[in-house]
Amino acid sequence: MKNSVRDDRQFDDQVDIPPEVDFRRGERGKYAHLFGEEPLDEELVAQFLRDKGFDVEKIGEDRFAKTPDFTLLREGNVVAYCEVKTFERDVWLDKKLAEAQPIALVGGARPDPIYNRISNAIHTAARQLIGMNLNHEVLNILVMVNRDKQALYQDLVSVITGMWDPLAGIHDKTHEQFSEGRIREEKTKIDLYIWLDVFKDESLKLGGFFFGNYENRNKACSLFGLNPESVITVA
């Protein structure tokens, strides 16, 4: 993991969040289902999913409605609902520099907000997906589009599992305040997590898949052409 100060506190997205741990672009202004809604990234994800063989239909015209973003179809049949959340680059230091006097030193130590950002993305997306897919008849998919160089796919795995870096064999229980907090039940309602990193030219790089619901893992693998035997199971 990276050498930054990590925050072990958890904050709700509808209360007054301290500026140093605010998960919305490093500044205030986005709440609940509004968090992470970026039209450009939704279109990038739609094309990514089309390339995977899905027909992608937008759900409604209002991007800020309390519903997921897309219905995914294969051969005319609905196979999944998909929500997209964007992690913007943290502008905290940029704002400090803009406000600083000439020759002044700015910055300093600050808790990294990424764990709260991931936790809130899961929390809000789960509610949107469950509301659309009450009986869980098809898969629920959450795509996280990452534009923050300080955020990593491993951070997602840590928040879900509560472990430091289980994919590297480090199973220390360092993140249970997130994994066993308010997303304890919600995280398993999302069958598949997809982490996509964005480059400067707006191209996407797949950071990784993570399966939140073991019972539907094989179905998710089949839809995305993955070999279930090659999937690492985090115990």
Instruction: Note down pLDDT in tens along the chain; length 235 residues.
Output: 333 333 445 544 444 444 333 334 433 334 434 445 678 999 999 999 999 999 999 998 765 568 999 999 999 999 999 999 999 865 444 444 445 456 555 445 445 588 989 999 999 999 999 999 999 999 999 999 999 988 999 999 999 999 999 988 999 999 999 999 999 999 999 999 999 999 989 999 999 999 999 999 999 999 999 998 888 777 5
Q: Is residue 173 part of a domain?
A: yes
The token duo for 216 is 């539907």
Q: Is residue 12 part of a domain?
A: no
Q: Is residue 196 part of a domain?
A: yes
Segments forming the whole domain that contains residue 118:
19-230
Q: Is residue 8 part of a domain?
A: no
Q: Is residue 26 part of a domain?
A: yes
Give dist(CA 89, CA 145) in Å, integer.
Answer: 11
The token duo for 83 is 């929500």
Give dist(CA 211, CA 97) in Å, integer.
Answer: 40
Query: How many domains is the chain partitioned into structurally?
Result: 1
Which residues have a Cβ under 8 Å from the Cβ of 161 and sit 6 or more positions away? 175, 179, 234
The token duo for 79 is 């196979």
Q: Is residue 6 part of a domain?
A: no
pTM, entire model: 0.79
